């Protein structure tokens, strides 16, 4: 029994080393060799390694009945059941709470000139100078990230740091992950526009997605 267990813990550690080397090779292919195509073929290596791991682990993992020691079957007590219910309900309630509290309200955009808040307050939009285009590099996949860097787009994170949120700013995201930054100024103009999804970044700064871009495009 203990020999089998030794094999299994060693196997787990060896598989961990395999996964670590997989990550290291992936990063090497992307950042040093810049070979994105080759990194896709790593999936075959990963599948082969995983199948071998599963086959060997099921062979070495012992069955309790074969060991001669009477099998100890844990009884499901009321405390266990209560603990499981509490843990599951914690996860489920958190999910629904976060979903209901962070649901985006209906903001409106009028021809890239005005942003209208759900309470009717309007802001006039003026592009950030000298260039208002940026990219959320960390949210992009590697190929899109490379393309954005080739275009010389700054990271939206840096734009956000340099310009702060005073005066308020608007990050407008398009489906292809490009982002445009606008300064917002309070205006008395009463207007309406097309509805779009927005979240408040701070008291008066916003992140919005132009349809058909959706929140799921970003973190």
Q: Which residues bind another protein (CB under 8 A)?
A: 1-2, 5-6, 8-10, 12-13, 15-17, 19-24, 26-27, 30-31, 36, 39-40, 42-43, 46-47, 50, 53-54, 57, 61-62, 64, 67, 69-74, 137-138, 140-143, 219
Least Å distance, CB 182 to another protein, is 25
Tokens at 37, concatenated: 């195509």
d(CA 30, CA 38): 9
Least Å distance, CB 44 to another protein, is 9
Tokens at 89, concatenated: 């309900």
CB nearer another protein, residue 69 or residue 86: 69
CB nearer another protein, residue 115 or residue 134: 134
Q: Are 48 and 54 in contact (CB under 8 A)?
A: no
Tokens at 26, concatenated: 């992936």
CB nearer another protein, residue 67 or residue 166: 67
CB nearer another protein, residue 5 or residue 33: 5
Of 155, 180, 157, give the one whose Cα is nearest residue 170: 180
Least Å distance, CB 66 to another protein, is 12
Least Å distance, CB 210 to another protein, is 21
| CA-to-CA separations, 219 to 3, 41, 58, 137, 216, in angstroms, rounded | 46, 27, 37, 11, 7
Of 143, 208, 123, give the one whose Cα is nearest residue 173: 208
Least Å distance, CB 54 to another protein, is 8
């Amino acid at each position: 029994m203990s020999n089998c267990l030794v094999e299994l813990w060693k196997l787990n550690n060896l598989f961990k080393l395999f996964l670590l080397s997989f990550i290291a090779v992936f990063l090497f292919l992307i950042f040093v060799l810049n070979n994105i195509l080759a990194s896709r073929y790593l999936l075959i290596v990963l599948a082969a390694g995983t199948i071998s791991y599963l086959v060997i682990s099921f062979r070495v993992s012992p069955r309790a009945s074969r060991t001669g020691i009477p099998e100890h079957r844990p009884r499901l007590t009321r405390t266990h059941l209560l603990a499981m219910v509490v843990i599951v309900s914690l996860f489920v309630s958190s999910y629904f709470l976060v979903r209901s509290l962070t649901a985006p309200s209906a903001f409106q955009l009028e021809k890239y000139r005005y942003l209208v808040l759900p309470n009717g307050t309007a802001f006039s939009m003026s592009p950030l100078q000298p260039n208002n285009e940026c990219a959320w590099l960390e949210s992009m996949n590697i190929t899109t990230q490379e393309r954005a860097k080739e275009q010389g787009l700054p990271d939206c994170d840096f734009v956000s740091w340099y310009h702060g949120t005073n005066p308020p700013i608007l990050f407008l995201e398009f489906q292809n992950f490009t982002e445009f930054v606008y300064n917002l100024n309070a205006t008395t103009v009463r207007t309406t526009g097309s509805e779009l999804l927005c979240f408040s970044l701070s008291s008066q700064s916003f992140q919005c997605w132009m349809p058909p871009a959706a929140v799921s495009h970003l973190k």
